[in-house]
Chain A
Amino acid sequence: MIPIIEREIVARGWLTSQEFVNIISISEMTPGPIAINTSTFIGYRIGGIPGAILATIGVVLPSLILILGIYFFLSKYKNQQIIKDTIYGIRPVVLALIIQAVVFVAGNTYFKEGTNIIDLLNVSSGIQFLEIISPAAIAITVVSLLVLLLSKIHPILVILTAGAAGIVLHLAGVL
């Protein structure tokens, strides 16, 4: 869902990539489905409370129509296999969308504000490379990934610890 929202919002110039990544971060931390939280937040930023209400309706309406319409239509004809197979077909695409989201969020997190791909191409030495990327942010990702894969610690705790680590590393002068 993130790449689709990103395409619509950032390409229209409603928010910068950095603001969008911040909104995703906050939506991950607050309870409730991320796609809905993100939409409500963006709606509020762009159009105040009416914007928030309309954005929320917009993001849940497809689910409402699909599940009430298609599910009850199909269950009448006992043909749910077609749904299962279609879902199966979407999965490889969903995987690609998640990878794109990784690239998008990582790109906006690891590079210092205001840098872009062209700066990366002009880099000729390792020291210059360290000037535009943030090793501390990459370190937080690596540690979070290890914790998530190797332990059963709840993701929200990992997110909160990462936020605290961000503050500590900032005060230490490395982020």
Chain B
Amino acid sequence: MIPLIERELVDKKKWISQDEMVDILSISQAFPGAVAVNSAILIGRKLGGYTGALFALIGVILPSFLIILIVARLFIYISNISIIKAALKGISSAIVALLVVAAVRIAKTGIKDKISPIITIVALFLLLGTRIHPIYVVIMGILFGLIYHGLRIITIRKK
């Protein structure tokens, strides 16, 4: 999706510069939510203010929204056919592999210190072993990030 947005807005229409696009992408990746959606919101805001942001958001989700509506409608009729069930079983088996790859990638790039693996293990224990709502585990992560930020500011000031 991103290369498509880039080609359309930077190369063809020249609405934003390459540098602006790089900035927008790095912010979009840092924020929670889908990168394509976040960057569309920022580009829309840049080009047309808050109305622009709203229309860019609608524009970026409308195609998949319509496709999903059609698929969801069809799915009611075909979900009980045994061949479709088998295909879905094959696909969900592949999705287990995709999720494992995502986990490996995030472990490699995002976990570099000694405290993070402990946070992961504690979070995993809470998620699998208790009925605690996952959102509280996410809030725990945010608090950890804020404490990490605070400690870093203190060490920088000491120097």
Binding site for B on A (CB under 8 A): 3-4, 7, 21-22, 24-33, 35-37, 40-41, 44-45, 49, 52, 56, 60, 62-64, 66-68, 71, 81-103, 105-106, 108-110, 134, 137-138, 140-142, 144-145, 148-149, 155, 158-159, 161-167, 169-171, 175
Task: State which of A24, A62, A103, A170 has its C-beta within 8 Å of the C-beta of B32.
Answer: A62
- A98 CA to B98 CA in the complex, in Å? 10
A-B contact pairs, 16 of them (CB 8 A): A4-B134, A31-B67, A37-B68, A40-B64, A52-B68, A64-B41, A83-B31, A89-B141, A90-B138, A94-B106, A105-B99, A108-B92, A141-B94, A148-B101, A149-B101, A175-B89
Q: Is the CB of B91 within 8 A of A97?
A: no
Residues from chain B with Cβ under 8 Å of A175 in the complex? 86, 89-90
**B residues at A contact (CB < 8 Å):** 1, 27-28, 30-34, 36-38, 41-42, 45, 50, 53, 57, 61, 63-65, 67-69, 71-73, 75, 79, 82-83, 85-104, 106-107, 110-111, 116-117, 119-121, 123-124, 127-128, 133-135, 137-138, 140-149, 152
Is the Cβ of A167 less than 8 Å from the Cβ of B94?
no
The answer to whether residues A52 and B72 also contact, given A36-B37, A144-B94, A167-B90 and a CB cut-off of 8 A, is yes
